[in-house]
């Protein structure tokens, strides 16, 4: 299912219900996103006993939320549960450190049981012309290889491990196959490795139930330019069809638009001055 949760709405709900109320991120806060990778189960997410995400659907990503460092208790229940007393997953304690960036993933273990994993997202600086590709195996499936253009670039990746690559910017045709084989069980899908972006790919679902899928998360702002900081994140759920680039470039688009307005105004001023001089 293709679904992009509104980051603002999700963060607002988390702030209201968890009791964290910063208007802007405080220095030293942690960032937490949540990815739902359990097929066929719409859930509610409780944080510290409070309903935080309501009717959270498979393949969806929420966040990131700025949270003060500390330990947060997360429980995941069926969507119609009255409270968090009988969770389907958890409760699990998530220890969030100052200044770190995390994604909590509700998913299936290799044998198929629901579980949860907290990943630490790599936000280290990238060189000019480079992007980062992070692949996470959170599917009910054996070890897999990740292929780029049909060639294995990551091998023997097991649930719930991850592998990171630093690559030149490009759009690559990626697929997932059982380890030692080249026949895709997911994909091929076009994945955009963008400059200064950590593109995180989730292989989720169940091989036995034939519902394996890809999910994407992006973390932007990792350029080597002085003063750059880790910026926004976005999520996109996908099936075995090609995945559209998931990075959000709203800030860059606004800058281009503003630049166009300034140039147009400058040209008009010059034409006016020229006509008056004549």
Per DSSP, 99 falls in state T
pLDDT at residue number 260: 39
The answer to whether the beta carbons of residues 205 and 105 sit under 8 Å apart is no
Q: How confident is the model at residue 213 (pLDDT cuts 50, 70, 90)?
A: very high
> Which has more confidence, 258 or 265?
265
- What burial class does residue 170 get, using C-beta atoms within 10 Å of its C-beta: 0-12 exposed, 13-18 middle, 19+ buried? exposed
Judged against a pLDDT cut of 60, whether residue 239 lies above it is answered with no
pLDDT at residue number 109: 98
pLDDT at residue number 186: 95
For residues 81-107, average pLDDT: 95
Say how far apart CA 83 and CA 75 lie, in whole Å: 10
Judged against a pLDDT cut of 50, whether residue 212 lies above it is answered with yes
For residues 208-213, average pLDDT: 96
Judged against a pLDDT cut of 90, whether residue 91 lies above it is answered with yes
| Bridge partner list, 107 | 37, 115
For residues 71-78, average pLDDT: 95
Structure tokens at 31: 């960032």
Structure tokens at 141: 């499936």
pLDDT at residue number 224: 76
Which helix (H) or strand (E) segment holds residue 104: the answer is strand 101-108
Name the 3-class secondary structure at 22.
Answer: coil
The answer to whether the beta carbons of residues 149 and 172 sit under 8 Å apart is yes
For residues 173-199, average pLDDT: 96
pLDDT at residue number 88: 93
> Which has more confidence, 6 or 233?
233
Lowest mean pLDDT among 15-19, 26-30, 53-57, 119-123: 15-19
Q: How confident is the model at residue 60 (pLDDT cuts 50, 70, 90)?
A: very high
pLDDT at residue number 277: 52
The answer to whether the beta carbons of residues 136 and 105 sit under 8 Å apart is yes
Q: Listing from the earlier edge strand, what are the strands of the sheet with 162-168? A: 162-168, 130-140, 198-206, 213-219, 233-238
pLDDT at residue number 223: 86
């Amino acid at each position: 299912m293709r679904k992009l949760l509104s980051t603002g709405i999700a963060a607002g709900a988390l702030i209201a219900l968890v009791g964290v109320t910063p208007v802007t991120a405080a220095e030293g806060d942690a960032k937490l996103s949540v990815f739902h990778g359990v097929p066929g189960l719409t859930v509610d997410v409780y944080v510290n006993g409070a309903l935080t995400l309501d009717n959270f659907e498979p393949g969806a990503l929420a966040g990131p939320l700025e949270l003060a460092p500390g330990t947060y208790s997360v429980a995941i229940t069926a969507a119609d549960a009255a409270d968090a007393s009988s969770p389907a997953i958890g409760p699990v304690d998530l220890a969030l450190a100052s200044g770190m960036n995390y994604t909590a993933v509700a998913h299936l273990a290799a044998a198929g049981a629901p579980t949860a994993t907290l990943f630490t997202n790599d936000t280290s600086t990238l060189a000019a012309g480079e992007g980062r590709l992070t692949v996470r195996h959170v599917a009910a499936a054996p070890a897999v290889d990740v292929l780029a253009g049909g060639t294995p670039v990551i091998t023997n990746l097991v649930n719930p491990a991850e592998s990171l690559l630093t690559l030149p910017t490009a759009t690559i045709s990626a697929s997932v196959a059982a380890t030692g084989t080249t026949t895709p069980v997911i994909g091929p899908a076009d994945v955009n490795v963008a400059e200064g972006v950590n593109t995180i790919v989730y292989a989720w679902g169940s091989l036995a139930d034939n519902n394996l899928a890809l999910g994407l998360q992006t973390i932007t702002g990792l350029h080597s330019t002085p003063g750059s900081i880790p910026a926004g994140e976005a999520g996109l759920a996908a099936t075995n069809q090609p995945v559209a680039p998931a990075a959000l470039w709203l800030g860059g688009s606004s800058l281009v638009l503003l630049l166009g307005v300034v140039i147009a105004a400058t040209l008009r001023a010059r034409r006016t001055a020229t006509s008056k001089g004549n």
